[in-house]
Structure 1
Amino acid sequence: MERLPSWIRQHLAALRALLVLTLVTGAIYPLLVTGVAQAVMNGNANGSLLRESGKDVGSALIGQSFTDGDGNPLKKYFQSRPSAGGYDPLASGASNLGPQDVLDTLPVPGAKDDEGNPDTGRQSLLTQVCARSTAVGALEGVSGARPYCTGDGVGAVLKVFPAVGTPTRVVSVNQACPATPFIPAYQGVKVECGKPGEDYAAGRTVPVRGNARAVVPPDAVTASGSGLDPHISVAYAELQAPRVARERGLDVHRVRTLIAEHTTGRALGFMGEPGVNVLELNLDLDRLKG
C-alpha cells in the first residue's frame, strides 16, 4: 500500500495527540481530581458552605457584611474586615491605593458628574482609613483617633505654598470649608480650610502625624487584598466583644470564650497571624439562645 505523504502523516499525528490530550486533561484528570476531592474533603471541595435551619448562609472562606438595609452595623454581630469590593466574589480585589494616596478630591456643591449624578468627590486611602477608624471608635465606645487623621475623620494633610521656601499660605486640603482646620497655624502661617474645586497641585504636600495613639486595630480600617477575607484579628474581635455581649445580654467572658474557640492559628505554624472567623462566630452566637 502506498504510504501517505509526510505532511498528511504529520497532521494525523497532531490530531491523535490533540484527541488524547483532550481526553486526558479535559475529562479523565478533572473527573479524577473531583472524585478524590469529594471523597476526601467533601465540605471544602464544595465551597466550605455553612448551613443554618436548612439554608446556606455563607461560606467559611468568604467574608460578608453584617449590616442593616442602610448599611449600618448590626450591633449584636461581630463586624467583618472592610472590603474594597463589597464582599462580592465577582469583584474580588484591592482598592489599589497606596500609602502615598493622601489627598481627597472635595465634592463641589451643586456640581454633577458626566451622568448627571451629584458630585461626591473622591476619598483618599488615608481619609478612608481615618473615617473607618472614627466610625469603629464610635461603635465600640473607644477613641477612633490615629496618626495622620483629623478629629473629624479625614486625612491630616496640608498643602504649603510656595512648595519651596518660606510658607506664605497653608491649606488643610481634606477639610472642606467651613470646617475648622485641625491645626490653627503651620510655621507661623494661619491654616485655611479647603475650598472645593480649587487646584492645590502646586503646593507642597505635608502629612501631619500628630500625637494620637491608635486604639482601633489596623484590620478594622484597611481592606484585605482580596476584599473577601473571612477573618479578623484577635485584637479586633476583643475590641468588639463588650458591645456584642451587651447587645445580647451575655456575659463578656462567654463571648470571649467563643472568640477563642473560633480563632485559627498561623498558617503552617509560622506564617501570618491568628485570625477569628466572623461568620462562624456570629452563627454560634445566634445558637446560644436558640
Structure 2
Amino acid sequence: MIKDLSRQSLAALRMLLVLTVLLGVVYPVAVWAAGQAFGARAAGQPVEVDGTVVGSRLLGQQFEGEAWFHSRPSANDHDSLASAPSNLGPSSADLLALVAERRAAVAATEGVEEGDVPPDAVTASGSGLDPHVSPAYAALQAPRVARANGLELSVVEELVDEHTDGRSLGFLGEPGVNVLALNVAVLEARR
C-alpha cells in the first residue's frame, strides 16, 4: 500500500512538473511569439496622425462636434478599463427611455425623422467599445460632416465607402465603418 502511494505520488509530481513547464512556460512563450508575428495587430493597431498616436482601430472612442463622424453610444463612456454593457434588458424602462432620448438627439443633430435613425446610433455594443458604426449610420452623418468641413457630399460619401469593412470571412457579421479611420480620412481630405 505504501509502495502504491509513493508510486502514485511520484507520478503526480512528474505530471505537475511537466504541466507546469508546458502551461507555465511553453504555452505563454508560444502565444507571445505568435503575437509578435502579427506585429501592429498585436500592438492594438494604433492610428497615427502627424506622428502622434490618436487611437486604436480596435477600440471605439467618443468624437464630438459637427465636423466628425460620431461613434456608437457607450455604456461606459468608451473607457477601455471598464469594458461592459449596461446590463439593462430589452424590457427595461430605463433602457427604453435612454434609447428614445438618444434617438431624438441623433434625429435633431442629423436633421432627419426619428424613424430614420439606425439602431446602432442609439444602442451601445456589448463591450461599449465597438469601433464601427453601420454604413447606414455613417451615411446619415455624411451630409453634416461634409457641411462642417467644407467638403463636397460626394467626397465624404466616397470616404465612407472606402472605409466600409465587409463581413468577416465574407459571411460573418455585418459590414461596418471604422469611425476613427474615417475621421482621420476626413481630416486628410480637408487639408
Which string of whole-angstrom CA distances, capped at 9 and with x for unpartnered residues, describes residues 238-285 of structure 1?
010011011110011101111011101122222322110001101111
SS at match of 1:38: helix
Q: Which amino acid aligns with 1:75?
A: E
The answer as to whether partners of 2:150 and 2:190 remain within 8 angstroms in 1 is no
Aligned length in residues: 190
How many Å apart are 1:288 and its aligned residue?
2.3
- Aligned match of 2:8 in 7, 10, 34? 10
Alignment map for 1:153-192 (pairs within 5 Å): none
Which string of whole-angstrom CA distances, capped at 9 and with x for unpartnered residues, describes residues 141-164 of structure 1?
2223xxxxxxxxxxxxxxxxxxxx
Q: If each structure's strand is expressed as a fraction of its own residues, which one has the higher value?
A: 1
Residue 265 (structure 1) aligns with:
166
- Aligned match of 1:49 in 23, 41, 46? 46
1:223 and 2:124 equivalent? yes
In 1: Cα distance, 2:63 partner to 2:10 partner: 59
The TM-score normalised by the length of structure 2 is 0.92
1:244 and 2:141 equivalent? no
Which string of whole-angstrom CA distances, capped at 9 and with x for unpartnered residues, describes residues 204-226 of structure 1?
xxxxxxxxxx1111110111111
The answer as to whether partners of 2:149 and 2:190 remain within 8 angstroms in 1 is no
- Aligned match of 2:61 in 51, 59, 64? 64
Larger Cα Rg: Structure 1 or Structure 2? Answer: 1
In 1: Cα distance, 2:33 partner to 2:14 partner: 27
In 2: Cα distance, 1:36 partner to 1:97 partner: 37
In 1: Cα distance, 2:122 partner to 2:185 partner: 25
SS at match of 2:116: coil
- Aligned match of 1:132 in 95, 98, 102? 102
Identical counterparts, % of pairs: 54
In 2: Cα distance, 1:18 partner to 1:89 partner: 36
The TM-score normalised by the length of structure 1 is 0.62
Residue 178 (structure 2) aligns with:
277
In 2: Cα distance, 1:54 partner to 1:18 partner: 49
Q: Which runs of 5+ in 2 are unaligned?
A: none
Residue 79 (structure 1) aligns with:
70
In 1: Cα distance, 2:9 partner to 2:109 partner: 70
Residue 183 (structure 1) aligns with:
none
Alignment map for 1:92-171 (pairs within 5 Å): 92-102=83-93, 124-144=94-114
How many Å apart are 1:15 and its aligned residue?
2.1
Q: Which runs of 5+ in 1 are unaligned?
A: 68-73, 103-123, 145-213
How many Å apart are 1:5 and its aligned residue?
4.1
CA 1:55/1:7 → structure 2, altered by over 3 Å: closer, same or farther? farther
Deviates more, 1:224-233 or 1:11-20: 11-20
How many Å apart are 1:133 and its aligned residue?
0.9
